[in-house]
Amino acid sequence: MRFDPAEKIDNETAHKIIREIVSGGTLILSRHAKERMKERGYSTHDVETILLHGEINKKELNSKTNNWVYTIKGSVLDGDDGSVVIAIIKRMSSIVVTVLG
């Protein structure tokens, strides 16, 4: 299936793609995301848990990179709420932009 990161897709389809990427694709952590993870005490497993089990509560087109960016809110392993901001860049590849506490 061809994937265009600039094409608007519904949240259900986007979350399905994100879950597939987490399960078997390439999940890239930006330097900014790594810094925020350390600052907020998030592990990679916490980020993956939010991406797999959370819900998309915001999406916007990044006009600089011409792709959609999704904010997924969920619970980390200790039960605290958190959010992950992620951009799908290819069918099986995405970048974690940041994490929010």
Q: What are the residue ranges spanned by the domains of the chain?
A: 11-100
Check residue 42 and give its pLDDT.
92
| Fold type of domain 11-100 | YaeB-like fold (3.30.2310)
Residue (of 52, 77, 63) closest to 5 by Cα position: 63
Are 36 and 99 in contact by the 8 Å Cβ rule? The answer is yes
Model confidence at 1, in pLDDT bands (50, 70, 90)?
Answer: low
The percentage of residues in the chain with a pLDDT greater than 90, rounded to a whole number, is 75
Are 74 and 55 in contact by the 8 Å Cβ rule? The answer is yes
Q: Whole-prediction pTM value? A: 0.91
Q: Tell me the one-letter amino acid at 78.
A: D
Residue (of 54, 59, 89) closest to 71 by Cα position: 59
